[in-house]
Amino acid sequence: IWALGASVLFDIYYNYADKDGNVNYNSSVLISGSTTQLEDPAITSSGNGHSAIVWEDEAASDDQIVFTLFKNSLASSKTISTGKNGAPQVIWADNVYAVVWINYDNDTQNIFMATVDGNGDIKLGPKNITNHKSTEDAILPLDIAFNGNSYGITYQYSDTSDSISSYQTYFIKVAKSTLSSSIGKLIVTPKGGYSSSGATISWSGKVYGIVWDEEPPYSPGGYDSGVRLYFNTFDSDGNAQMNSPVEISKELGSGHSGKIAFNGINFGVAFSRNSDIHFLEVTEGGSAGKILPIAKDGTALEAFPSIISTDNPTFGVAWLDNRSGGNFQVYFAVACANVAAN
């Protein structure tokens, strides 16, 4: 699922592929943005053939968070939150869809959350789970996972009340039944002057696997030189399970932030390095496998990967790619430790 358009109007498109990577090439407009701008769509499946889709809808003066169910056709869309919002994410959590997003009301930045049942009705929330007060603090895009009892949320935050001006990575534990949340727990503090960003999270059944990158201060050469991608595991309270994170890759390219999923045995990580898409598997104990190329054109820009688990031992990876020149296209591949499909 992705947004595509010209000028200020965007439609949301969708396509699908089977577990072997066979793609239906007839992309279709799923939701029309003919009168408004639709951005940041996200999708998840309940496993019974139904999917939930959330997006940001810049209707009137609001940036609304909108939710809909989809199987063979769209259900009626429902607005979850009005006001200034963005960057929604959605997952299936046993019997509800959990939605998180960033709210920008009152010139502050906070994470809000709501749960929606299988009929599309809001069950809990929307609820502010961070309660930041300062108008100077900032949040970068977030991610969410579910461990069967509680949610784990990662995000990057710049807190101007301390002496560190760079972004750091935080973790929040949120109760399933009430959406009550812990205070954001600092889990990554980069070395002086560096920022951590792009953290994504997945639950293995035992631990959370989290990947993030660390960027050096800006220089005339840009951020990309010196960027590193790291991995560590954490318990349900956000406590690191390894004394030191595993460095997965260095010298990452544009759109470098890694994405993570779990296939029942290992974590799979997709990321961009030197403008190509790469993949590797990492065990719960932190042993990293060989880095395998998924898209390696050499001249084109391939960036912003996403990853899901399919049937063990494979993962599905999608990314933006301009190998044909001009506009970007959306590509998809199936990958595993022994095979990197193109």
Q: CA triplet 250, 256, 259: central angle to 5 degrees?
A: 105
Among 250, 325, 316, which residue's Cα sits nearest to residue 288? Answer: 250
pLDDT score recorded for residue 233: 97
The phi and psi torsions of 218 (rounded to 5 degrees) equal: -65, 140
Q: Check if the beta carbon of residue 217 is closer than 8 Å to that of residue 194.
A: yes
Widest CA span in the chain: 52
Q: Check if the beta carbon of residue 271 is closer than 8 Å to that of residue 256.
A: yes
Contacts of 15 by beta carbon, 8 Å cutoff, 6+ apart: 23, 24, 25, 26, 27, 28, 330, 332
| DSSP output for 182-197 | PPPEEEE-PSTT-EEE
Question: How far apart, in whole angstroms, are the C-alpha atoms of residue 314 and residue 294?
Answer: 13
Rg (CA), the chain: 19
pLDDT score recorded for residue 208: 97
Q: Check if the beta carbon of residue 258 is closer than 8 Å to that of residue 319.
A: no
Among 172, 158, 161, which residue's Cα sits nearest to residue 234? Answer: 172
pLDDT score recorded for residue 123: 95
Long-range pairs for 180-188: beta carbons < 8 A, 24 or more residues apart: 181/113, 181/129, 181/130, 182/237, 182/238, 184/130, 184/155, 184/157, 185/237, 185/238, 187/154, 187/232, 187/234, 187/238, 187/240, 188/212, 188/214, 188/230, 188/245
Q: What is the pLDDT of residues 82-131, one digit of tens each?
A: 888 888 999 999 899 999 999 988 878 899 999 999 888 999 999 999 98
pLDDT score recorded for residue 175: 96
Sign of the CA dihedral running 155, 170, 185, 269: positive
Question: How far apart, in whole angstroms, are the C-alpha atoms of residue 213 and residue 259?
Answer: 11
Strand order of the β-sheet with 267-273 is 259-262, 267-273, 276-282, 292-295
pLDDT score recorded for residue 320: 85
pLDDT score recorded for residue 189: 73
Q: How many CB atoms lie within 10 A of CB 318?
A: 22
Tell me which residues of the chain have a pLDDT lower than 50.
163-164, 220-224, 255, 339-342
pLDDT score recorded for residue 338: 55
pLDDT score recorded for residue 340: 41
Q: Check if the beta carbon of residue 41 is closer than 8 Å to that of residue 330.
A: no
Q: How many CB atoms lie within 10 A of CB 334?
A: 20
Say what percent of the chain tops pLDDT 70: 80
Tell me the whole-structure pTM to 2 decimals: 0.88
Question: How far apart, in whole angstroms, are the C-alpha atoms of residue 7 and residue 111?
Answer: 29
